[in-house]
Structure 1
Amino acid sequence: MKNYRYFIITMIIIMTMINYVDRGAISYAQEDIINEFGFDNIAWGSILGYFGYGYMLGSLFGGVTADKKGPKFVWLIAGTLWSLFEIGMAFAGEIGMALFGGSALAGFGLLRVLFGVSEGPIFSTISKTNANWAAPRERGLLSALGLIGVPLGAIITAPIVSGFLVISTWRVLFVILGLLGLVWIIIWYKVFTDYPEDNKHVSQEEIESIRSTEETVHGEKTVETEHNAHEKWYHFFKSPTLIFNMVGYFGFQYINFLILTWTPKYLQDEYHFEIHSLWYLGMIPWIGACFTAYFGGRLSDWLRVKTGSLRIARSGLAIFGMTLAAICFLIIPTTNQIGWIMFLMMLGNACIFLPNAVYWSVIIDTAPKKTGTYGGITHFFVNSATIIAPTLTGILVTSYGYSSMFISAVVAAVIGIIAMCFVKPGIKKMKPTS
């Protein structure tokens, strides 16, 4: 098959969409769950944040395992487990009351942690897959395509979940979503291999195109040319580029999870929208991101060719996008008109997704043979945002109101901007290994 790698990327997009519907569903089911079990805002923020504890661990060990065992092994194990734990969410309250002295909160906490562990490896494994399957000239594009499932998944979560909850229950919803993930895993097992060279559907011509180094720029590394492939995991912390890239990515992830987890409750609490209205309102913040997540990757690759500078193509694009996002979120607390607020949320979210692929491209540019391990380390620390954002927001809105939610997004964006000023893709500045 010609350009089989794009079929693989399409399958990854579908998986990422399922992944994000799975993790976003609980935010739309929050009213039914809260009413049934009596959670307050702080408890609900904790439930949303428990996911992040598992997510951090899963991303770290998933990345290391992808380097050692190959991405296919990680895909199959992680996908099967997260689908089963998604089904388990339907019974989380009952599990907690049976096992933890009548505490439904503990049951939701346990299932959210386990769900997070199983979903954690996905993005470092996507990065490892791209390192194996993408030519240097396509890294930004294929990284963007692999990640475009994030806003696409988020945008379809609103109509799918809201619509389903109108006609059925939140428990049935979680069971169906889990079964859908298992179907994807069965198909993936049949069509994917760790390397294109091992796949019977990939032509020799396509393999040569993927492995071509003719269009590499200064400092850029490939799977074929990178030295120190056996360096230890802790060498990550000798690289200022990788460390600052991680901090920059944290800023993105904080805003991403803030919008994903708290937008439905914000709209219900502040503007008294019912669940049947959220099917379209919940889509709005993600509309622009569906386009910028894709075009950001293309723009990064275009800048790479036109300027010959990975720093402009990666770091510069991230600084530009996060600056625009900070401006948007800073304006939101100054207005109470829902139309303007939704527009600014959409625009701000679109701006943070413009450089979404950059953070993973920097890792591939700098250490392609250690992409799984270094991607896992990056995602481990970055995913502290998946705990901090929903948990801190629950505390902030209780104490200071919902305006504080958007101010915290501005602070996260500024942290990301400052960090990306120090990112020099392709340059590790680490001592050679013996």
Structure 2
Amino acid sequence: MERYESDTEGDGQETPLLHRGHEDKVQRAPVCCSSRYGLALLSCYGFFVVYSLRVNLSVAMVDMLNNTHQSSANHSFSVCPAHANPPRPKHNHTASVYDWDSETQGWILGSFFYGYILTQIPGGYLAGRFGPKWLMGFGILGTVVFTLLTPVAADLGASYLIAVRVLEGIGEGVTFPAMYTMWAAWAPPLERSRLLTISYIGAQLGTVISLPLSGEICFYLDWTYVFYVFGAVGLVWFVLWAFLVFDSPNTHPRISERERLYITTSLKNELSSSANIPWGALVTSRPLWAIVVAHFSYNWTFYTLLTLLPTYMNDILGFSIQQNGMLSALPYVGCAVFAVLSGQVADYLRETCQYPTVIVRKSFSIVGMIGPAVFLVAAGYTGCNYTLAVTFLTISSSLGGVSASGFNINHLDIAPSYAGILLGITNTFATIPGMVGPVIARALTTQKTIEEWQTVFYIAAAINLFGALVYTVFGRGTVQPWAVHTSYSHGD
């Protein structure tokens, strides 16, 4: 019997749930109108709000600056011939403008991450202790409130705006750990890839939609409405979240009995009933540190592109990010599509083809980390071939979406009871590239040459390759012994 139960939680998920003798009676609950997929869609909406509020400032900043002060920047020369676009007529805007120098702008744009990194681990702990629903709800609501206050803070001074952005980061910092804690109670093991990729595609959609839409709002209204519009969208989300979402299937008043039994039965051997967190075993777990290294490495490339792709397109390719909003969004469209497709394929391989979980996670991580590295380096050698450069950068980001079904979900495989805390730990380290990566890249590209950018791309690619190697060697796909308190064993 001990071997049988070990197999059910082994890396292979050798015998999928519902295909096992006695548990045949518990049938898979339908997808349509289900509570778990409703949660996936609402959390997708939530992460759309989170990322919209995170990136809209970078677009609004263009209109927040005094045009005469910035005139020299607007006429900078690129390595490749610039793409001239007919100037759009300027509307008479009444919003304030500010004379912030480049250093102040850098502090304003980067201040978010200093708050974001503070609440990763506390977010995981609090979600496990008090429940993820209200922690995530109030975390995003707080971010929405401070977003609505952004125009007032900017009028008061740059230091007030920096403080507001730090507070926004603190609010958003709890969202991912809280959502992982939520999925630990809601996601059947063989549907994890599908549910989580639907949930987190909201982050990509938030980036894709808010970049060009913020530019249009700035043009037709003024920059203050960027924060008012997205703030209002966030308020609508909070109302829906408050009334429609619950911490677990057992506390949901409208879930069908079939779906509740399906979810709870599939998770009964994976969740720990102990309130004590095994910190010693947790921080010395090699499978956890494998995820830490992979997450850090992947985010180095992700944040390099997120923050510096506009600069590269302007300085090297001659594209203006303000005039080509959809062009800058292309990589994130590809990333979102590949993330959702990878979730479907990963769960199909695990359930129908019965591939070991660990093999699926490592394979998708390798494709999602080495693929982007190769095409990122290749983009540096396209010269002034605009089409090829944009194509390679888009493929690089798109392949990165495959990792959503790799190391990104592995927290739930190795310790579902502590998934929020594990995500908090890995995301703390993974936030560091967002703080230091762009700074290092800017320091390496002072002359704005193609050769300097090749160096930036090589560094990002090398870090990605290192992360893929470490995860391939040390990653695991089973619930670890320290993560569940039962009498049977767990084999790797």
Residues 44 and 239 (structure 1), Cα distance of their counterparts in 2 relative to 1, 3 Å cut? same
CA deviation profile, 1:49-107 (whole Å, cap 9, x unmatched): 32212111122211111100101120222011110122233234333x3xxxxxx2x33
Q: Which runs of 5+ in 2 are unaligned?
A: 1-31, 71-96, 487-492
> Of 410, 414, 418, which aligns to 1:366?
414
> What displacement does 1:326 show?
0.5
Matching residue of 1:81: 142
Provide the rounded CA distance (Å) in 2 between the counterparts of 1:300 and 1:314: 8
Which residue pairs with 1:101 in the alignment? none
Give the conservation status (yes or no) of the 8 Å contact 1:262–1:390.
yes
- Summarize deviations over 1:306-338 as a string: whole Å, max 9, x none: 354122111221012211110000011112222
Contact 1:131–1:368 (CA under 8 A) maintained in structure 2:
yes
- 2:226 corresponds to: 173
How many angstroms does 1:265 deviate by? 3.6
TM-score, length basis structure 2: 0.79
Q: Which moved more, 1:333-342 or 1:4-13?
A: 333-342
Equivalent residue for 2:340, pick from 280, 289, 294: 294
Relative to structure 1, the CA distance from residue 355 to residue 190 in structure 2 (aligned partners, 3 Å threshold; closer, same or farther) is same
In the alignment, is the contact (CA less than 8 A) between 2:270 and 2:484 conserved in 1?
Answer: no
Matched, 1:424 2:476: yes
Q: Which residue of 2 aligns with 1:64?
A: 125
Tell whether the 8 Å contact from 1:24 to 1:157 is kept in structure 2 after alignment: yes
For residue 20 of structure 1, the aligned residue among 35, 39, 51 is 51
Larger Rg: 2
Q: Shift of the alpha carbon at 1:295?
A: 1.4
Alignment partner of 1:212: what SS? helix
State which of 130, 143, 163 in structure 1 corresponds to 2:196: 143
**Whole-Å Cα distance in 1 between the matches of residues 484 and 418 of structure 2?**
15
Which amino acid counterpart does residue 196 of structure 2 have in structure 1?
A: S
Aligned to 1:197: 250
CA shift, 1:170, in A, is 1.8
1:376 Cα deviation after fit: 1.4
Structure 1-normalised TM-score?
Answer: 0.88
Task: Decide which moves more: 201-210 or 37-46.
Answer: 37-46
Contact 1:44 1:394 in 2 (8 A): no
Residues 79 and 118 of structure 1 are in contact (CA less than 8 Å); yes or no, is this contact kept in structure 2?
A: yes
1:33 to 35, 39, 64: 64
Identical amino acids, percent of aligned pairs:
24
Counterparts of 1:244 and 1:359 in 2: how far apart (Å)?
A: 9
Give runs of aligned pairs for residues 337-356 of structure 1, distance below 5 A: 337-356=385-404
Following superposition, the deviation at residue 432 of structure 1 comes to: 9.5
Q: CA deviation at 1:117?
A: 0.8
Structure 1 runs (4+) deviating above 6 angstroms are 431-434
**In the alignment, which residue of structure 2 is the partner of 1:262?**
308
Q: Does 1:319 find its partner at 2:371?
A: no
Amino acid at match of 1:14: Y
1:199 Cα deviation after fit: 1.2
Secondary structure of 2:185 counterpart: helix
Distance 1:283 1:432 in 2: 42
- Which of 439, 442, 464 lines up with 1:413 in the alignment? 464
Task: Supply the distance in 2 between the matched residues of 1:236 and 1:134 (Cα, whole angstroms).
Answer: 22
* Structure 2 equivalent of residue 55 of structure 1: 116
Q: Name the counterpart of 2:92.
A: none
Counterpart of 2:295 in structure 1: which amino acid?
Answer: Y
Choose 223-232 or 68-77, whichever is displaced more: 223-232
Q: CA deviation at 1:228?
A: 7.5
Structure 1 residues 28 and 68, CA gap change in structure 2 (3 angstroms): same
Instruction: Tell me the amino acid that sits aligned with residue 304 of structure 1.
Output: R
> Which structure shows the higher helix fraction?
1
State the distance in 2 between where 1:90 and 1:359 align: 39
Distance, in Å, in 2 between the alignment partners of 1:365 and 1:69 is 22
Question: In the TM superposition, what is the alpha-carbon distance from 1:40 to its structure 2 partner?
Answer: 5.3
Q: Which moved more, 1:328-337 or 1:390-399?
A: 390-399
Report the Cα offset of residue 46 of structure 1: 3.9
Deviations 1:388-422 (A, max 9, x none): 23333333333665614433431331232122112
Distance 2:467 2:442 in 1: 22
Q: Choose which of 268, 277, 287 in structure 1 pairs with 2:323.
A: 277
CA contact (8 A) 1:166 1:276 kept: no
Unaligned residue ranges in structure 1 (runs of 5+): 98-103, 214-221
- 1:225 corresponds in structure 2 to 270
The code of the aligned residue for 1:7 comes to: G
Residue in structure 1 matching 2:423, options 375, 396, 414: 375
Note closer, same or farther for the CA distance 1:395–1:88 as it changes in structure 2 (3 Å cut).
Answer: farther
CA distance 1:25–1:302, shift in 2 (3 Å)? same
Structure 1 residues 46 and 145: alpha-carbon distance in aligned structure 2, compared to 1, 3 A threshold: same
Task: Work out whether 1:309 is the aligned partner of 2:356.
Answer: yes
> How far 1:137 sits from its partner (Å)?
0.7
Distance 1:84 1:73 in 2: 16
Q: Distance in 2 between matches of 1:265 and 1:87?
A: 28
Whether the 8 Å contact between 1:145 and 1:294 is mirrored in structure 2 is yes
Q: 1:5–1:433: structure 2 CA closer, same or farther, 3 Å change rule? A: closer
Moved more, 188-197 or 85-94: 85-94
